[in-house]
């Protein structure tokens, strides 16, 4: 039984220095509380000022180091030419639409295939051993195979086979290679989420009359996916950047559009433009990942549902 101050007969101020019973419309904070809040605000302003000053000093030092380097004039002319930047920007932006479409289509395919592989790896019973072995071999192989080699094999090797009815479109083949590689990573993320769900959850679902499939679908998977949202978003951020690699097969995306201008002008400014465009596209997704992660951490610290 919990004993309150009123029941124990003790008075006095609480840990914050406020008088008990001082809540409601007539609440007046104590002088100690006001001093503490004033000190916190002053400390926050001081920390902000120090951070701004240190950032400014660092930026100035880096600027002076770069612009005073012996090769800076040539580097500026080769990598930071405003004329070539203006020429490249609309073409790079047009090619970026292909990267965005690849992200959307491959992202959905990766999530679906990764979930199927993860479920296959967590199936129980000796009868499912061949399926578990195949799923494990798939994840081991494609996680170990460098993405650039996978792209070259699929984009350049599949057309060389001259198979009837098989596409030779570098965009489709590049998207297939991206899906194969990232599905292996996402499958492991899903598997970790599934295995993090306590066995008692599945046992409780079975005791309520649910089958193994129903327990997996309605109890285990929702919890597993909810817990793995931050790493899944990180994988999608990486996928967004790696869509630029489909240019090795000739697909005209943002990177290939920049490469065409570079090959004609021998000026590398279009590469800088393409890189900045990808960064601008990635930052919102990264900030969303940080926000989701922080939100889940707060809920976990408060004992809320995950």
3-state class of 22 per DSSP? coil
Number of domains in the chain: 1
The predicted model scores a pTM of 0.74
**DSSP one-letter string for 115-162:** HHHHHHHT--SGGGHHHHHHHHHHHHHHHHS-HHHHHHIIIIIHHHHT
- Cα-based torsion angle of the residue sequence 150, 155, 160, 163 in order, rounded to the nearest 10 degrees: 100
Q: At what angle do helices 170-196 and 82-121 cross, to 10 degrees?
A: 50
Residue 285 CB: number of other CB atoms within 10 A? 17
Q: Is residue 5 part of a domain?
A: no
In a domain, 183, yes or no: yes
Where residue 242 sits, what CATH number does that domain have?
A: 1.10.3720.10
Sign (positive or negative) of CA dihedral 39, 40, 41, 45:
positive
Residue the block writes with tokens 């057309």: 159
- Within a domain: 83: no
Q: Is residue 21 part of a domain?
A: no
From first to last of the 306 residues of the chain, give the pLDDT tens digit: 444 444 444 444 444 444 444 445 567 888 888 888 889 999 999 999 999 999 999 999 998 998 888 888 888 888 988 999 999 999 999 989 999 999 999 999 999 999 999 999 888 888 889 999 999 999 999 999 999 999 999 998 888 888 888 888 889 999 999 999 999 999 999 998 888 888 888 788 888 888 777 888 888 888 888 888 888 888 888 998 899 888 888 788 888 899 999 988 889 999 999 999 998 888 888 888 888 778 877 776 776 544
Domain of 220 in residue numbering reads as 100-247
Tokens of 47: 């920390």
């Amino acid at each position: 039984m919990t004993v309150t101050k009123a029941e124990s007969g003790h008075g006095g101020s609480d840990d914050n220095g406020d008088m008990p019973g001082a809540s409601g419309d007539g609440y007046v904070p104590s002088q100690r509380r006001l001093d503490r809040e004033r000190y916190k605000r002053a400390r926050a302003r001081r920390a902000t000022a120090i951070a701004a000053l240190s950032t400014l000093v660092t930026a100035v030092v880096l600027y002076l180091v770069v612009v005073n380097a012996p090769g800076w004039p040539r580097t500026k002319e080769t990598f930071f030419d405003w004329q070539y930047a203006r020429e490249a920007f609309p073409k790079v932006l047009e090619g970026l639409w292909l990267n965005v479409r690849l992200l959307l289509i491959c992202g959905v395919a990766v999530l679906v295939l990764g979930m199927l592989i993860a479920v296959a790896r967590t199936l129980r019973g000796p009868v499912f051993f061949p399926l578990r072995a195949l799923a494990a071999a798939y994840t081991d192989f494609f996680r170990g195979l460098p993405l650039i080699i996978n792209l070259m094999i699929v984009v350049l090797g599949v057309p060389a086979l001259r198979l009837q009815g098989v596409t030779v479109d570098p965009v489709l083949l590049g998207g297939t290679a991206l899906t194969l590689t990232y599905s292996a990573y996402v499958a492991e993320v899903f598997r970790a989420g599934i295995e993090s769900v306590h066995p008692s959850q599945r046992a409780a679902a079975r005791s309520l009359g649910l089958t193994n499939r129903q327990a997996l679908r309605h109890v285990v998977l929702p919890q597993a996916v909810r817990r793995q949202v931050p790493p899944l978003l990180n994988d999608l951020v990486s996928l967004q950047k790696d869509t630029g690699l489909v240019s090795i097969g000739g697909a005209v995306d943002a990177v290939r559009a920049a490469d065409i201008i570079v090959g004609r002008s021998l000026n590398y400014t279009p590469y800088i433009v393409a890189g900045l465009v990808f960064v601008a596209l990635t930052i919102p997704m990264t900030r969303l990942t940080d926000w989701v992660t922080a939100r889940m951490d707060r809920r976990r610290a408060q004992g809320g549902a995950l």
